[in-house]
Amino acid sequence: MKPIKKIKKFLHWREPKKPQIDLNTELYLQLAPFRLPLILTVLIMMTGTLGYIIIDDFSLMDAIYQTGITFTTVGFGEISPISDAGRFFTIMLIILGFGIFSFSVGILVDVLNKGELLKILKERSMLYDIARLKNHYVICNHNEFTIQLTKQFRENHIPFVVVDPAENLEEIAKIYNYPYFVNEEPHTEIALAKAHLSSAKGVITLSQNIADNIAVIASARLHEKEIKRRRPYFILTNAKTISDIEKLKKLGADSVVSPTKLMAQRMSAISQRPEMENILEQFLYKKDTPLDIEEIKIPSYSWMLYKKLKDVNLSQYVKVNVVGIRDDKNNFIPMPNDDIIITLGSKLMLIGSGESIRTAKKIARKKERPQESR
């Protein structure tokens, strides 16, 4: 086994990931009715083989072959002369073969008419596809928010799985182009397992009912503790009132969005500065935007720690600008001057191209200062 493992490692061979729930038990239950026809087929083949050997002294291979072509009624004829007793035996095999075939077809039609087998096979294939996802988002509850959010995710190539208990979820997924979906109650353990939450980046729950959002948040945090995940899930949800926002944050949500509050803020900003109406669409929400803005956390081992912004000098060799800095106490300093020191737990708000920000993240994770930045 060790040489095989070494070869796989050398070839960068990765075993295909399996879902936590593979539906093998459910599939077996659907295929269980075919056990009797299969057993009868094996028994008839054994009986026919022994019969030809005893009655007409056939060799083993000739007896198996003659039984096969007789049992399946293909009509190839006799491979060697058969006695009258052998012919009577052949007639009995043909009748039994036709009976078993008819019985098997009846079972197949009955299973297919129920529709459960095809449903399980489709879901099983979906679960294996979901198991291959990494750093995806589990989006709970289908509604208008989900439709718009998934549209943005598709445009930005962000993987996601939609979880909803609606019976017609498959039809909904076709209409709104959900590539992966799970037809379960979002807060249940089976739903989180099917959505492969263990490898997900976070959870987004968008129910209009706050109780549903609370249930999903609690389930996700509990799952996080059970698998002893190093990095906590990012949990995003929505709420209607300020009290609901505070409640959801206390229960474990990282961010809570209030559509009413967002609309009010947006309308206020537009009314005060009409010329800035399309700034968000042009530079934040638009696909393939030339500019992006993101907050990055400086690791405890980073070479940037306890250095001034002018010494780090990201604007020159990475082409990003630091437009804000947040300390470990969540105090935010907009447009910091060059003499600000990056302390432990600091987060830098960067603006620049997506590629430049990704490069800045890599540089921030280094223990020693890169040569090109000196």
Closest CA to 123 of 21, 262, 43: 21
Residues 6+ apart with CB under 8 A from 201: 135, 136, 137, 233, 234
For the chain, how many residues are written? 374
Contact assessment for residue 338 and residue 309, using Cβ atoms and an 8 Å cutoff? yes
Which two three-digit tokens encode residue 235?
């949990």
Closest CA to 195 of 243, 160, 143, 234: 160
Signed CA dihedral, 327, 331, 336, 340: sign only: negative
| pLDDT score recorded for residue 18 | 75
CA distance 218 to 97: 58
| pLDDT score recorded for residue 367 | 87
- The amino acid sitting at 166 is A
| pLDDT score recorded for residue 373 | 60
User: Residue 142 — φ and ψ, nearest 5°?
Assistant: -90, 125
CATH number for the domain whose boundaries are 133-257: 3.40.50.720
Model pLDDT for residues 27-70, shown as the tens digit of each residue: 788 778 888 888 888 888 898 899 888 998 888 888 888 888 88
Which two three-digit tokens encode residue 91?
């007639």
| pLDDT score recorded for residue 368 | 86
In CATH terms, is domain 290-373 a member of 3.30.70.1450? yes
pTM of the predicted model, to two decimals?
0.65
CA distance 314 to 306: 15
State the Cα torsion 187-219-261-352 to the nearest 10°: -110
In CATH terms, is domain 25-116 a member of 1.10.287.70? yes
CA distance 208 to 239: 8
| pLDDT score recorded for residue 71 | 79
Closest CA to 353 of 308, 302, 297, 289: 289
Extents of the domains making up the chain: 25-116, 133-257, 290-373
DSSP codes of every residue in 84-125: HHHHHHHHHHHHHHHHHHHHHHHHHHHHHHH-HHHHHHHHHH
Which two three-digit tokens encode residue 233?
């899930």
Contact assessment for residue 58 and residue 66, using Cβ atoms and an 8 Å cutoff? yes
Q: Consecutive 10-residue runs of the chain (374 residues): their mean pLDDT? A: 58 62 79 82 88 88 86 74 84 84 81 78 89 92 91 89 92 94 92 91 91 92 88 90 86 84 64 58 55 83 88 81 85 85 88 84 86 63
Model pLDDT for residues 157-212, shown as the tens digit of each residue: 899 999 999 989 999 999 999 999 999 999 999 999 999 998 999 999 988 888 99
Strand partners, 137: 160, 202
Contact assessment for residue 311 and residue 342, using Cβ atoms and an 8 Å cutoff? no
User: Residue 269 — φ and ψ, nearest 5°?
Assistant: -65, -40
Q: Is 294 exposed, middle or buried (0-12, 13-18, 19+ CB in 10 A)?
A: middle
H helical segments located in the chain: 2-10, 24-31, 35-56, 60-71, 84-114, 116-131, 144-155, 169-176, 189-194, 210-226, 242-250, 259-272, 279-280, 309-312, 314-317, 354-364
Residues 6+ apart with CB under 8 A from 80: 56, 58, 62
